[in-house]
Amino acid sequence: MADAVNNPLPIVVLISGRGSNLQSIIDSVAAGDLPVEIRAVISNRPGVQGLQRASQAGIFTRVVDHSHYPDRAAFDKALQVAIDAYQPELVVLAGFMRILTPAFVHHYQGRMINIHPSLLPEFPGLNTHQRVLEAGRAVTGATIHFVTEEMDGGPAILQARVPVLAGDDAESLAARVLEQEHRMYPVVIRWYAEGRVRLDTERQVRFDDVPIKRPRQLDSEADAPC
């Protein structure tokens, strides 16, 4: 179990863009609510806002530009070397827009989580909010899951539900879903740091060492942030 003062959980955060979820993690650490040490923020794109957010918080940053590698496997090998130099116990994908190779995913199995702006398994992949609107759904949300070889298909840990309002477009819906993402990531990272959530050898999520049949819900009485 991580201790916020003496033994914070070392993590590395991977980004590709503005880093708003990264900022929610940084803010939670600064407030003393999250027992982790962000050892580095790594981006596959140079010059993005998320790198500025990390630098302003005094966090090491690094760019591993995917365009400099001949194929996905070569990029993933370089990325793995960069991550492992910081010896994280958890890798957090926060808007990291790359499909990862099976070898890379296997290396971090049970130690890598991702957030996706839908109630998985519905609407994996890109253009999520537009697809939700086109399908006429009344409710959408976000999901945090362990990363496996299947894109957006890993075992889900936590979800938050967001109503689709009359007059919503993809941009307005995305903004409300993102508000919940910012609440969710510190909760799940804290659970992991405290040893409350893990992925077992059968790829089953365990919460307080009990297998869960469905994702936890952010606003249920048992899962309200505290």
Residues labelled catalytic: 116
Are 21 and 181 spatial neighbours (Cβ–Cβ below 8 Å)? yes
User: Alpha-carbon distance 51 to 13, whole Å?
Assistant: 11
Cis-peptide, bond into residue 215, ω within 30° of zero = no
DSSP H or E stretch at residue 93: strand 90-93
Q: What angle in degrees, to the nearest 10, is found between the helix axes of 20-30 and 170-193? A: 40
Kind and range of the H or E run holding 15: strand 9-15
- Looking at residue 96, the DSSP 8-state letter turns out to be -
User: Cα 12 from chain centroid?
Assistant: 11
Distance, in Å, from the CA atom of 54 to the CA atom of 73, rounded to the nearest integer, reads 27
Strand intervals (E) in 101-200? 112-116, 139-146, 156-163, 197-199
Measuring CA to CA, how many Å separate 98 from each of 15, 17, 19, 111, 171?
Answer: 10, 12, 15, 17, 22
CA angle 84/85/91 to nearest 5° reads 40
Q: Contact 223/157 with Cβ under 8 angstroms? A: no
